[in-house]
Amino acid sequence: MSVSRIGAVSAIALAGALALSACATENPAPAGSTQGAGSSASAGNVDCFSGDLAAEGSTAQKNAIAQAIKSYQEACADATIDYNATGSGSGIKQFIAKQVAFAGSDSALKTTPKDGKVEAEEAKNACGSPAWNLPMAAGPIAIAYNVNGVDKLTLNGEVAAKIFNGQITTWNDPAIAALNKGVTLPSTPIKVYFRSDESGTTENFTKYLQAAAPSVWTADPGKQWTGKGEGKEKSAGVSAAVKSQDGGITYVEWSYAQQNQLHMAAIDTGSGPVELTGETAGKAIAAAKQVGTGNDLALKLDYGTKEAGVYPIVLVTYEIVCSKYADAEQGKKVKAFLKHYASADVQKSLEPLGYAPLPAEVLTKVDTAVDAIS
Amino acid sequence: MSTTSLPTPTGQPTESRAAGRSGRAGDRLFSGATTISGIIVIGIVTLIGVFLIAQAIPALLRNNANFLTSREWSPGGDHPRFGILEFLWTTVTSSLIAMALAVPVGVGVALFITQYAPRWLRRPAANLVDLLAAVPSIVYGLWGLLTFRAVIRPFEQFLQQKFGWFPLFAPTPISGGTIFFIGIVLAIMILPIVTALSREVFDQTPAAHKEGALALGATHWEMIRTSVLPFGKPGVISASMLALGRALGETIAVTFLVSALAGGTPWTWSLFNGGETFASKIANNAAEFSNPNKTGAYIAAGLVLFVLTFVVNSIARVVIERRKAFSE
């Protein structure tokens, strides 16, 4: 917050300086546009296109891509980019149907058959070239809770799994107390809230629970919730429910937990509690293994990590693109925008919005891949 | 059937005959237009039905669970298992709660406006109730979630504590949108429909009936009971059924409020349990219709809602027809 404010102040100062120097010339630009020019200059040299670009997909990256689109359009007045946040599933569907230039998705294209179809193959056929998964934003998933009088809480994979599958039912359970020495826990019953819609957040969170506590969380990870609790509609629904219920707990994207001012649990992976920050979540991405080949940057996160200082519950959202667009013009547009999205400045501006910036080594790879789009 | 259209016996070409011809042309044009309108409506409904059935059948054929009696819902994957029992229960129960609350109150409001209220108050009061109908349903959802929930919650807790032995009021761990709560919000949403239509029919009660009752020594209440209510009954019934249709199909407000149940939650008759309605389930998951079979499962659920609403309306028609036969 304060960082962006300082940024804004300096942008205004810069704009002011530009405006002053502009006075000498014959055409003093209005303050607003000067400021826009100032901020675009700070975003690096932007390769502008003119025309429309349509994309659709994940709601988890909505705020991130909106920020990237905003700064891109500030720099390029002729470009119109439209991202329709309808969900990863429909994004991929529209991409395969060639309705949108690229799709946003919470998981990479599946390479194994599901319902007799392989997403990656279908996308390849639609593109006429291999489709690539490019990680663009990392959305940490917070375990958000609301317990009267408890500001700090540490959980580990096993205890979290037991809470979310209903084995632990009160806040003063010895298992929770053992992780939180010195914290007075009330006997309030635990109310678990889950996403009632099918969601990538649920999928990634259950992947974590299964990896961290395989003996407790036995259900297969999936978009549909397999634990216990009370279902609420989308991220806004679960965070609102936790906010208004003493004893409530849920898993939700970091940004929602921040905006609703919910307390977030630190995760103890075995080497001490790790708070959720951009840095600790970024480390999880840096440690992820690349499962795609070449410029296909599909990642496999190590949810069961025991490394110190890594916040393990992170969702990577991808942009799914064609490596070679049939319509060269469209390829150029996609490339220009993603180049901007992957720039260090834009990535940095995502942190106040609840995203973890991609670590430098991943960004370099993304940059290379974007350059290879044609 | 005016006389001008009858052929004159003398067979003289007269002005009246010319007028008759143009009259017939207009007649034909108009009857044609209305027939087409009628056919369009029937056609649309039939096409919707055909679409739903055609989309639902392939998914139903692949279903590994009983569609009508299963409580599972996992329509994706290679071995889909899905059933609608829970949606049917939530949808019907919450709508019935809404009816039980809205119809008596709605009829009461309509009687007050038409029979008791001073003349200067009638118009403003009627407009105020109609205004409830103009509130978008998303607003009801937000209001219910943020404000009204806290008002109803203590009452629910009271019922659960004092009357928990009664299966319908059995305590549950659900804290948010219970079936009971959704019923109350739906009641407020359908109140204006019941009120507006009942008001119209009560207003039509022939003055002779009312004056006759009063002349025979009836009190104001007896007059209402013996002349206004019997006269208005078919109207009230059709108003209720229209309202029920709205309650069954209400989507956005319910989607906002419901608390979905996790898979494998034990069955309870409690009104304080959560659960999703047909419409909210479909709306909430529309973004993830990733393959035709999964979509088909949701469409099959939609088909049940379609049939349910259709049956409700048919029953209403039958009831109204019967009442008409009695009153004439």
Distance from CA of B259 to the nearest CA of A (A): 5
pLDDT band at B325, cuts 50/70/90? low
Query: Would residue A313 count as lying in a domain?
Result: no
Could you give the dihedral angle defined by the CA atoms of residues A202, A205, A206 and A212, in that order, rounded to the nearest 10 degrees?
180
Which pLDDT score, from 0 to 100, does residue A60 have? 79
pLDDT score, position A354: 85
B192 has a chain A CB within 8 A of its CB: no
Beta bridge partners of A290: A299
Sequence-distant (6+) residues with CB within 8 A of A91 are A55, A56, A57, A58, A100, A103, A104, A105, A320
Question: Are residue B22 and residue B114 in the same domain, yes or no?
Answer: no
Residues B185 and B96 in one domain: yes
Instruction: Say whether B263 and A225 touch across the interface (CB within 8 A).
Output: yes
Q: Residue A57: is its pLDDT beyond 80?
A: yes
Which residue among A59, A117, A230 places its CB closest to the CB of B176?
A230
A295 part of a folded domain: no
Q: What is the pLDDT of residue B277?
A: 92
**Residue numbers in B near A163 (CB within 8 A):** none
CA dihedral A27, A30, A36, A38 (to 10 degrees): 60
pLDDT at A42 over 60: no
> Which chain A residues touch B285 with a CB distance below 8 Å?
197-198
Q: Is the pLDDT of residue A50 over 80?
A: yes
Query: Rounded CA gap, B124 and B107, in Å?
Result: 17
Specify if A170 maps to a domain. Answer: yes
CATH number of residue A362's parent domain: 3.40.190.10
Residues of B in contact with A228 (CB under 8 A): 262, 265
Task: Give the long-range contacts of residues A371-374, CB within 8 A, separation 24 or more.
Answer: A371/A335, A371/A339, A372/A295, A372/A323, A373/A132, A373/A321, A373/A322, A373/A323, A373/A324, A373/A325, A373/A331, A373/A334, A373/A335, A373/A338, A374/A323, A374/A324, A374/A325, A374/A328, A374/A331, A374/A335
Question: Looking at the domain assignment, is residue B315 inside a domain?
Answer: yes
Write down the ipTM of this complex.
Answer: 0.78
| Mean pLDDT on B184-209 | 92
Judgement on whether residues B309 and B185 belong to the same structural domain of the protein: yes
Characterize A209-222 residue by residue with b for buried, 16 or more Cβ atoms within 10 angstroms of its Cβ, and e for exposed.
bbbbbeebbeeebe
The answer on pLDDT for A145 being more than 70 is: yes
Q: Same domain, yes or no, for A120 and A159?
A: no
Domains in chain A, number: 2
The answer to the question of residue B76 being in a domain is no
Same domain, A145 and A134: no
Same-domain status, A220 and A275: yes
B297 reaches A (C-beta below 8 A): no
Closest Cβ–Cβ partner in A197, A230, A237 for B174: A230
In a domain? residue A291: no
What tokens were used for B4? 């001008």
With respect to residue B154, please indicate whether it lies within any of the assigned structural domains.
yes
Are A223 and A273 in the same domain? yes
Q: Is the pLDDT of residue A35 over 50?
A: no
φ, ψ of residue A339 in degrees (nearest 5): -60, -45
Residue A371 touches partner B, C-beta closer than 8 Å = no
Q: Give residue-wise pLDDT tens across range A329-364.
A: 899 999 999 999 988 888 888 888 888 888 888 888
Both B170 and B313 in one domain: the answer is: yes
Residue B168, in any domain of the structure: yes
Q: What does the CA dihedral B55, B56, B60, B66 come to, rounded to 10 degrees? A: 170
Backbone region of residue B43 per phi and psi (left: phi > 0; alpha: psi in -120 to 50; beta: other values): alpha
Q: What is the mean pLDDT of residues A190-213?
A: 90
What's the pLDDT score for residue B5?
47
pLDDT in tens, B86-141: 999 999 999 999 999 999 999 999 999 999 999 999 999 989 888 888 889 899 98
Whether A232 has a pLDDT exceeding 60, the answer reads yes
Classify residue B159: in a domain, yes or no: yes
Mean pLDDT of B72-84: 84
- Nearest-CA distance A91 → chain B (Å): 9
A184 marked ligand binding residue: no
Task: Using CB atoms, pick whichever of B77, B176, B288 lies closest to residue A87.
Answer: B288
Residue A149 sits in the same domain as residue A205: yes
- pLDDT score recorded for residue B108: 94
From residue A249, give the alpha-carbon distance in Å to each of A209, A243, A294: 15, 9, 40
The model's pLDDT over A74-111, given as tens digits with 9 standing for 90+, comes to 988 888 999 988 878 888 888 999 899 999 988 888 88
Instruction: Give tens-digit pLDDT for B160-175.
Output: 888 988 888 888 888 8
From B230, B232, B211, B207, select the one nearest B220 (Cα to Cα). Answer: B211
B78 within some domain: no
pLDDT for the residue numbered A1: 41
B260 and B215 share a domain? Answer: yes
Asked whether the CA dihedral B181, A145, B285, A53 is positive or negative, the reply is: positive
pLDDT value at B214 more than 60: yes
Same domain, A325 and A227: no
Same structural domain for residues A99 and A125? Answer: yes
State residue A37's pLDDT score: 38
Given a contact cutoff of 8 angstroms between Cβ atoms, the answer to whether A66 and A83 are in contact is yes
Largest CA distance in chain A: 75
Which among A87, A114, A189 has the least Cβ separation from residue B287?
A87
Mutate to test the interface with B, among A122, A230, A239 (most CBs of B within 10 A): A230
Q: Does residue A194 lie within any of the structural domains?
A: yes
Contact residues on chain A for B175, CB-CB shorter than 8 A: 191, 230, 241, 245, 248
pLDDT above 50 for A34: no
Q: Are residues A153 and A276 in the same domain?
A: yes
Please indicate if the annotation marks A151 as binding a ligand. Answer: no
Is residue B145 included in any domain, yes or no?
Answer: yes
Adjacency order of strands within the sheet including A154-155: A154-155, A266-268, A273-274
A200 annotated binding-site participant: yes
**Pairs of CB atoms within 8 A across A/B:** 92
Q: Are residues B46 and B97 in the same domain?
A: no
Contacts of A112 in chain B (CB under 8 A): none
Contact A61/A104 with Cβ under 8 angstroms?
A: yes
Q: Do A86 and B287 touch (CB under 8 A)?
A: yes
- Categorize the per-residue pLDDT at B17 as very low, low, confident or very high, splitting at 50, 70 and 90: low
A201 assigned binding-site residue? yes
CA-based torsion, A347, A352, A355, A361: positive or negative: positive
The answer to whether A244 contacts B290, with C-beta atoms less than 8 Å apart, is no
* Interface with chain B: mutation pick from A109, A170, A193, A196, highest number of B CBs within 10 Å: A196
* Claim to verify: residue B50 and residue B96 sit in the same structural domain: no
- B123 and B29, same structural domain? no
B77/A114 Cβ within 8 A: yes
Q: Does residue A34 lie in a domain region?
A: yes
Residues 6+ positions from A334 with CB-CB distance below 8 Å:
A53, A101, A102, A321, A322, A325, A373
Residues A278, A145 share a domain: yes
The shortest CB-CB distance from B145 to any of A89, A223, A240 is to: A240
| Residue in this structure with the two tokens 């998951």, named with its chain if needed | B285
**B53 and B178 together in one domain:** no
For residues B209-223, average pLDDT: 92
- B249-259: pLDDT as tens digits: 999 999 989 88
Residue A247: its pLDDT value, please? 92
Number of structural domains, chain B?
A: 2
> Which backbone phi and psi does A144 adopt, to 5 degrees?
-100, 140
**Chain B residues in contact with A123 (beta carbon < 8 A):** none
Task: Answer whether B266 touches A (CB < 8 Å).
Answer: no
Q: Are residues B31 and B138 in the same domain?
A: no
Cα A255 versus chain centre, distance: 9
Provide the mean pLDDT of chain B: 86
Q: Which of B149, B284, B293 to mutate to test the interface with A (most CBs of A within 10 A)?
A: B284
Distance of CA B194 to the CA centre of its chain: 10
- Assess if residue B116 is contained within a domain: yes
- What pTM was computed for the model? 0.78
Q: What is the pLDDT of residue B3?
A: 43
What is the domain range of residue A189? 140-283
A228 CB within 8 Å of a chain B CB: yes
Across residues A295-315, what is the average pLDDT?
Answer: 88
* Final residue in a domain of this structure, among A283, A308, A337: A283
Residues of B in contact with A198 (CB under 8 A): 285, 287-288
Is the Cβ of A37 closer than 8 Å to some Cβ of chain B? no
Task: Give residues 60 to 89 of B whose Cβ lies within 8 Å of A.
Answer: 74, 76-78
Full domain range(s) for residue B100:
84-327
Q: Which residue has the tokens 């004893």?
A: A247
A-chain residues near B145 (CB < 8 A): 240
In this structure, are A148 and A21 located in the same domain?
Answer: no
Residues A128 and A191 in one domain: no
Which residues in chain A are closer than 8 Å to B149, comparing Cβ atoms? Answer: 244
Calpha distance B98→A223 (Å, rounded):
33
State pLDDT tens for residues B40-70. Answer: 999 999 999 999 999 899 889 988 888 888 8
Task: Determine whether the annotation assigns residue A88 to a binding site.
Answer: yes
Q: Can you tell me the distance from the alpha carbon of A186 to that of A180, in angstroms, rounded to the nearest whole number?
A: 12
CATH number at residue B104: 1.10.3720.10
Of A266, A283, A300, which marks where a domain is finished?
Answer: A283
The answer to whether the CB atoms of B145 and A226 lie below 8 A apart is no
Q: Are both B175 and B314 inside the same structural domain?
A: yes
- Contact across the interface for A90 and B287, Cβ inside 8 Å: yes
Q: Which of A233, A259, A283 is the last residue of a domain?
A: A283
| A307 falls within a domain | no
Given pLDDT bands bounded at 50, 70 and 90, which one contains residue B176? confident
In this structure, the answer to whether residues B48 and B141 fall within a common structural domain is no
Q: Are residues A54 and A189 in the same domain?
A: no
Q: Tell me the pLDDT band of A8, cut-offs 50, 70 and 90.
A: low
